[in-house]
Amino acid sequence: MDKILAVVRREFTERVRQRWFWVIVLLGPLFFGGIFILPTLLASGGGVKRIVVVDGTTSHLGQRVAEQLTQSKVFVATSIPAGGRGADTLTLTDDVSAKRLDGFLLLTDALVDSGKAEYRASNVSAFKAIGTLEGTLRGLALSVRLERAGVDPQIVARSQVRVDLDSKKIAGGKTTSESAAQSFSLAYFMGIILYMAILLYGINVMSSVLEEKTTRIVEVLLSSLRPFQLLLGKVLGVGAVSIFQFLLWGLSARVLIAQRSHLLGSRATDDAGQVFQVPHVTATTAIVFGAYFIGGFFLYSAMFAAVGAMSSNEQEARQAQQPVTMLLVASFISMFAMLNDPGSTLSVTLSMVPFSSPIAMPVRWAAGNLPLSEVALSLAILFVSIIVVTWIASRIYRVGILMTGKRPNLKELVRWVRAA
């Protein structure tokens, strides 16, 4: 036991002392900050947009459109008649290229007749801007049609209602204040962190095994403790480093989120709320996340350790790790499908299969309401798999760690597992 602790301590102190650890500690918040801030900036699209409304309608709707758009505070719009000075699309396109304008809206009678209009701009993916534009045009086209049908303009004006849909998530039989956007971002965020952490620290275990093998120090170690003790100490040590890393990240995330409005300015926070809200992490969510991180880390590090033990150098290890990494990457990619439909058969299956459940289940958990029994079943499967995989991996480790020469093929691996 003392020896395992000594191995844990060595792994921990040597890793924390290394420069790359602190580089990742510092880069982490920048990266995650980017995940939060970028969509915000994209959504707000850089603030108020200057556009020109080219009015080609016979009823001169351009002026009304420009007024309403300007009122929305998303645009500053001016209306010019089609065919007038500076109203040809070539000149306007030049203006957009030269950044004198953000875009222009081409209105014709088709707006009222068939609901068609054209918007040309340097950025058409800013969905708040597009949303405002569509809403305004739809309302206007509706009013004009109603007026033409003889409805009193007063009634039309009064019947205009702006709907602001506020979605709430139901969790544990209670309606929480969490919005759909918050759930989405939490699931997305947890998926990314789990994927990165399991991969990063799994590979850390692998290179640590490989280092002891290539420097031959493993022989001295194995004359003092059993291979399983060494492997266990190593995995626990690297695991402790990763938890330490999370603590540091958590701390900086707190600071970052607290200072968020400060960093972005009041303008952007308003828009940010539309897309990426700081998720509300409950204690249960934190426990689910933690349980799957630890489970996933153990499962994958056992496999990575076996890969390290059966390779003789970095190059071999890089090749041999690919099947293991692919398992993880596949789970990560399927996360995006699961976010769309957390209840689908695919999602449920992935959250039960032990190799993908460490990412899949937390994502499903965060995205929607899940019965605890499903989580318990998935955890049980994961737990049993950890025991089986570790048993196999430690056998490969035991034989492989003293081997040099060519990498074993599958048949030889099976023999190792049987012989050890």
Residues near another protein (CB under 8 A) are 2-3, 6, 10, 13-14, 18, 211-212, 215-217, 219-226, 402-405
CB 415 → another protein: shortest distance, Å?
A: 9
CB 398 → another protein: shortest distance, Å?
A: 10
Distance (Å, whole) CA 194 – CA 197: 5
Q: Which is nearer to another protein, 1 or 163 (CB)?
A: 1
Cα-Cα-Cα-Cα dihedral of 300, 407, 314, 302, to 10°?
Answer: 20
* Amino acid sitting at position 390: T
Per the listing, tokens 């699209």 go with: 45
Centre a 10 Å sphere on the Cβ of residue 110 and count the other Cβ atoms it contains.
15
CB 203 → another protein: shortest distance, Å?
A: 17
CB 418 → another protein: shortest distance, Å?
A: 13
Q: Which is nearer to another protein, 15 or 49 (CB)?
A: 15
Contact assessment for residue 352 and residue 382, using Cβ atoms and an 8 Å cutoff: no
C-alpha torsion sign, points 84, 86, 91, 96: negative
Q: Which is nearer to another protein, 147 or 412 (CB)?
A: 412
Annotate 37-61 with DSSP letters as a single string: HHHHHHHHTTSPEEEEEEE--TT--
N-term to C-term CA, the chain = 23
What number of residues does the chain have? 420
Q: Which is nearer to another protein, 251 or 402 (CB)?
A: 402
C-alpha torsion sign, points 368, 371, 377, 383: positive
CB 215 → another protein: shortest distance, Å?
A: 4
Contact assessment for residue 206 and residue 302, using Cβ atoms and an 8 Å cutoff: no
CB 50 → another protein: shortest distance, Å?
A: 57
Q: Which is nearer to another protein, 230 or 338 (CB)?
A: 230
Q: Which is nearer to another protein, 13 or 114 (CB)?
A: 13
Q: Which is nearer to another protein, 173 or 405 (CB)?
A: 405
**Alpha helix segments (H runs only) across 62-179:** 62-71, 89-97, 110-114, 127-148, 153-159
Q: Say which DSSP state 405 is in.
A: S
User: Which tokens in the block code for residue 392?
Assistant: 């196999």
Strand order in the sheet with 103-107: 75-81, 49-55, 103-107, 118-121
Q: Which is nearer to another protein, 19 or 262 (CB)?
A: 19
CB 217 → another protein: shortest distance, Å?
A: 4
Contact assessment for residue 61 and residue 107, using Cβ atoms and an 8 Å cutoff: yes
Q: Which is nearer to another protein, 126 or 241 (CB)?
A: 241
CB 10 → another protein: shortest distance, Å?
A: 5
Q: Which is nearer to another protein, 217 or 387 (CB)?
A: 217
Tell me phi and psi for residue 53, to 5 degrees.
-100, 115
* Amino acid sitting at position 59: S
CB 384 → another protein: shortest distance, Å?
A: 29
Contact assessment for residue 372 and residue 173, using Cβ atoms and an 8 Å cutoff: no
CB 219 → another protein: shortest distance, Å?
A: 4
Distance (Å, whole) CA 13 – CA 203: 18
